[in-house]
C-alpha cells in the first residue's frame, strides 16, 4: 500500500471513529431516545396510547411510571415523546413542563418553574413575580380558561415524584390532578418514581383525583438477554455512514460478547445489579480495565487486526490507530 493510500485510510478511519464516539456517547451518557427498548414494549404501547389521547384527542389524564433506578423509566418516556413529536399536530401544539423533586424542593419553587417554562404573563426573563397564592391562582386560571378543542395540551412530567408527595399539604399535586380531571384544557400529569408504595403516601383528597393508572417497569431479563443488551448498546446502526466500517465493528462486537473474560465481568455486574445505567457506565468508563483483560489481544495486533484495540479505545474517547 502506498503512503498516500495509507494516509487516506487513516483519515477515513479517523472520521469513522469520531462518528462512533458520537453515537456511543449519545447512547450511553445521555438520556437521548436512541437505541432500543428492552423488555418494556407493552409499557411503551400503553404510554404512547395514553399520551396520544391527550395530544390528539384532547383527553386529560394522569399516570405513574414505577420501577427501580436504572430500569428504563426515563428512557421509556423519552422514546414515547420522540415518536409523538414525529406527528406534526403534536409537535406544533404540545406544551411540555418538566419538574424534578430534587430541584423543586417545595411548591413555591415548583410553581415558579412551571410559570417560567410555560412563559406566562408574570414572567420577565428568568424571574417570576408574585406570591405563592398569586402564582397558583394565575396558573389555575390560565389552564382553566381554555377548552379541549382550541387549547394546547399540556404535559407535566414530575421526575422523583415521591419527593413532591412530601411537600406541605400536597397542594401542587392536588391542583395538578384536579386540573387533569377537568373538562377544560387537556392536561396530563406523568410521575416517575422508584417507590411502589407511592399511593399509600397520597392524602385522601389527592388520591381521589388521581386516575390510578400505574405503569410498572422492571428489570426482568435474564443473563442471556443482558448480554444481548450489551451487544446492542455497542453495535452501530444500519444507517451508519461507512457501511464497511460498521460491519467490521459489529462483527468484532459479536466476538467481544462471547469472550469468556467479558462474560465473567458482565455476569459479576449482572448478579450485583440489573441497573442498565451501571452497564452504560462500565461501557463508557472501563476500557482501560478491558484492555488489561485481553492479554491475547497482542496476538491479534501482531496479525494486523487493530479492530480490537480500536473498539476499546473508542469507548473511552482515546481512540488512535496503531501502526
pLDDT at 207: 94
Q: Which of 191, 161, 190 is nearest to 54 (CA)?
A: 190
What are the φ and ψ backbone dihedral angles of 169, each rounded to 5 degrees? 60, 5
What is the SS3 assignment for 76?
Answer: helix
**How would you list the strands of the sheet with 187-193, edge to edge?**
95-100, 154-159, 187-193, 61-66, 214-216
pLDDT at 130: 61
What gap in Å lies between CA 32 and CA 51, rounded to an integer?
19
CA atoms within 13 A on the CB side of 257: 19
pLDDT at 262: 83
Helices (H), 124-242: 132-144, 161-165, 171-180, 204-207, 223-234
Q: How far is CA 150 from the centre of its chain?
A: 31
Model confidence, pTM: 0.72
CA angle, 186 then 216 then 212, to 5° = 45
pLDDT at 203: 94
DSSP secondary structure letter of residue 309: H
Burial 41-77 (b: 16+ CB within 10 A, else e): eebbebbbebbbbbbbebbbbbbbbbbeebbbbbbbb
pLDDT at 322: 37
Q: Which three cell numbers stand for residue 313?
A: 479505545
What gap in Å lies between CA 123 and CA 138, rounded to an integer?
11
First vs last C-alpha separation in the chain: 14
Q: Which three cell numbers stand for residue 189?
A: 400529569
What gap in Å lies between CA 236 and CA 253, rounded to an integer?
9
Q: Which of 217, 244, 264 is nearest to 307 (CA)?
A: 244
DSSP secondary structure letter of residue 184: S
Residues 6 or more apart in contact with residue 93 via CB below 8 angstroms: 55, 152, 153
**48-101 per-position pLDDT tens digit:** 999 999 888 888 899 999 998 878 898 899 989 999 998 888 888 888 999 999
* Count of other CB atoms within 10 angstroms of residue 6: 11
Q: Which of 112, 97, 209 is nearest to 156 (CA)?
A: 97
Q: DSSP labels for 82-151? A: HHHTTSHHHHHH-EEEEEETTT--SHHHHHHHHHHHTT-TTEETTEE-S-HHHHHHHHHHHHHSS-TTTS
Residues of the chain with pLDDT under 70: 1-14, 29-36, 121-135, 142-150, 183, 285-323
Amino acid at each position: 500500500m502506498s503512503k498516500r493510500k495509507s494516509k487516506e485510510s487513516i483519515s477515513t478511519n479517523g472520521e469513522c471513529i469520531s462518528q462512533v464516539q458520537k453515537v456511543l456517547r449519545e447512547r450511553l451518557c445521555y438520556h437521548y431516545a436512541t437505541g432500543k427498548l428492552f423488555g418494556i414494549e407493552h409499557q411503551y404501547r400503553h404510554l404512547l396510547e395514553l399520551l396520544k389521547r391527550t395530544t390528539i384527542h384532547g383527553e386529560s389524564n394522569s399516570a405513574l411510571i414505577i420501577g427501580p433506578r436504572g430500569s428504563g423509566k426515563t428512557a421509556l418516556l423519552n422514546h414515547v415523546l420522540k415518536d409523538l413529536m414525529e406527528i406534526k399536530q403534536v409537535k406544533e401544539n404540545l406544551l411540555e413542563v418538566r419538574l424534578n423533586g430534587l430541584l423543586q424542593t417545595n411548591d413555591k419553587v415548583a410553581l415558579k418553574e412551571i410559570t417560567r417554562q410555560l412563559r406566562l404573563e408574570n414572567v420577565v426573563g428568568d424571574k417570576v413575580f408574585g406570591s405563592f397564592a398569586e402564582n397558583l391562582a394565575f396558573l389555575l386560571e390560565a389552564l382553566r380558561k381554555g377548552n379541549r378543542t382550541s387549547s394546547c395540551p399540556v404535559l407535566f412530567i414530575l421526575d422523583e415524584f415521591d419527593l413532591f408527595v412530601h411537600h406541605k399539604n400536597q397542594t401542587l399535586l392536588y391542583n395538578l390532578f384536579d386540573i387533569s380531571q377537568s373538562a377544560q384544557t387537556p392536561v396530563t400529569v406523568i410521575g416517575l418514581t422508584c417507590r411502589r408504595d407511592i399511593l399509600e403516601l397520597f392524602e385522601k383528597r389527592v388520591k381521589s383525583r388521581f386516575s390510578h393508572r400505574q405503569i410498572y417497569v422492571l428489570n426482568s431479563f435474564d443473563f442471556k438477554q443482558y448480554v444481548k443488551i450489551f451487544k446492542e448498546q455497542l453495535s452501530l446502526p444500519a444507517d451508519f455512514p461507512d457501511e464497511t466500517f460498521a460491519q467490521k465493528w459489529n462483527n468484532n462486537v459479536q466476538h467481544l460478547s462471547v469472550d469468556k473474560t467479558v462474560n465473567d465481568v458482565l455476569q459479576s455486574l449482572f448478579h450485583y445489579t440489573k441497573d442498565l445505567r451501571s452497564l452504560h457506565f462500565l461501557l463508557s468508563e472501563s476500557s482501560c480495565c478491558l484492555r488489561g483483560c485481553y492479554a491475547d489481544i497482542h496476538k491479534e495486533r501482531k496479525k494486523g487486526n487493530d479492530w480490537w484495540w480500536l473498539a476499546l479505545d473508542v469507548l473511552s474517547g482515546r481512540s488512535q490507530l496503531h501502526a
